[in-house]
Structure 1
Amino acid sequence: MPFLSTIKSISSTIIPRRHKQPPDSQEQSLGAGEQAKFPHSLPPLKVVNLPLVLPEHQFALADQGWTKITYRTPVKKDALYSSAQALFQASKSFFDLPTAQKHAFKTKEGSEEGWSFVEGEKEFITLRSLDNTPPELLEAARTFWAVAGDLLNDQLGRVAESLELPAKALDVYSKPCSRLSMEKTATMLRLFRYEGFEKDQPKTVAEPHRDLGLLSLVIGDKPGLEVWDRHAQSWFPIEKSFESPAGSILAGRQLERLTNSRYRSGGHLLEQHLESSTRRFRYSIVFVLRAHYPIPIDTDSLTTAITGDFQDPVKGVTAHTFFHSIKRAHFNINTGIDERNKQREDLAKKSIAL
């Protein structure tokens, strides 16, 4: 567990949060034992160089479903860092607008596109095309999307190579979404403003979950992201371990399925901490890379000695159908609390019926 070994000294004063439920405890999983269903006899992953991930942090992405993004030095000249800082400033300008102005960017797609507000937790805007991007965000969002899109495309290509596949075997799903344009994409950029804590107690503002897509890049303006450590069976506040500005990358459920679980989807949540009492909000940038909807899925073409035979093969469907089959099996943490609870109850009933 190289990543955990590296952060052990950094996090020695951080107490793991064992009292919270694991990310799949309140939702229907993809099947019993989904996190350990591939045979131990499979060959190890090939060693690859994941961009902006230190060598000692590389293994954690496959093993845990999350790892740390380390900026190039000097940090202020790193393209990802500088574009994120510009986007944070633009994001604050947008969220400071009167509610009526922000409401103009609300769409019928709900949390999947446009502005949304979840009382008691957060407000956010989901960008998927230039057409519905507010002018306050336009240039900063377009610049960040290009930098983040290139990074995650490269990451996905290296993931493919670790499985003894050509890079194009996986990045074919993401390259069409590498730029923010007039064409709506499956990939999205979400900007969040999370509310502060209540009554001197930490407040969970994003419930435990795993992302649905391929890879997610998360950058916050202060600590709050916690990731599920499957070995310690506890939540680890990863952003508290950062001694200098950094980001996090998370594997999603699409990637887990397309790698036959050789890359695990990373459980995570978002909590406002007590030490943040002097600042009311947490701002967060989340770039979610999803498989481009028209691309056909065929796991036969993704099968190698390293992946082994797929336990849950997918063939003859588009990425659109593939995504929605995953989405239907999990409740949406970005809907209103009442709707979220209803989705949770409906999924529980389906699980019992099965």
Structure 2
Amino acid sequence: MAKKNLKIAFFGSSIVSAYWNGAATYYRGIVKSLNKMGHSVTFYEPNIFERQKNRDIEDPDWCEVIIYEKDKLNLRSLLRGVQEEADVIIKASGVGVFDEFLEYEVAMMKEEDNLVIFWDVDAPATLERMEEDNSDPFIPLVPEYDFILTYGGGKPVIETYESFGAQKCIPIYNALDTETHFPVEEEEKFNATLAFLGNRLPDREKRVEEFFIKPANELTNENFILGGSGWGDKNLPSNVNYLGHVYTIDHNAFNSSPRAVLNISRNSMATFGFSPATRVFEAAGAAACIITDYWEGIEQFFEPGKEILVVKNGDELTKILKELNDAEARKIGKAALKRVLGEHTYQHRAKLLEKIFSKELFGEESVK
């Protein structure tokens, strides 16, 4: 039985702002579910990238949020308090400032009665970096952490982390937050044949051109919607409506209104597979008909053809859009919603985390 009221310190990019921060809803779902189980979480995030000016939420009642300035002396002071109080200390990848410093300091906080965890929300990028540079300062730290948790990646990521000496690597996949993502009435401004929401990133852009822009050029009589930051100067077809940043308050309508919603993986995530994006579960939670580019491991989360539509190139996607009617799209969306409610909510993920925490701290026999 896991100890109740664990004190968990979590260093991450941001839990209050999704601005240039795709991990925000992932963190919220995990932390909120841990709080419901009786654990208290303090989330430490830096005041950078104008995220505090572009908040999606105020400080929540399900965790304490501590925002620190870009000041290493102040951060050292925070860390001293964390080591004295916390049962579990988590350093997430991609905090955005003092990452190497935090990775070392958190690893060195290991004591007999606590857990230190590195939570990699972009494992493909981290592993690629370490494989290309054997002097990477994170390499000797990997074995010092009790657990390496990852945002996804499946067996390839687990085996690669273990090759660097990880004591235990366990994926904690994205999931659905049932309190924030659910079906809503359609909104006219989001009506379209196909909608895609994603920030402009170098290792995703060519795939966006193939899976979104190419079909839009082919289907000139259909309407397409593009949401996300950074696409303002992109040459887009005239039938693409670019919305810019879409705040989380509008995500349900964005997912519920179009005939289909597109998921496009980043190159690194597609290469490693087993890495469904947060927005896949958000869209499924809104009963959207999801079309995704192919990546290994899809079948672990959704049944292709019944709960999700899978394409390997833009031509296949164009063909699907020509044949997909509203009734079939709604049927697929309802099946996806049923699947995530049964297997892929953050309550499911938090139960796994409790097993992980209790194994090291309180004598659980195994993590299943």
With the shorter chain as reference, the TM-score category is: under 0.3
Q: Which of the pair is proportionally richer in strand? A: 1
Compute the TM-score of the two structures, normalised by the length of structure 1: 0.26
Compute the TM-score of the two structures, normalised by the length of structure 2: 0.26
Q: RCO (CA 8 Å, sep 6+): is it higher in 1 or 2? A: 1
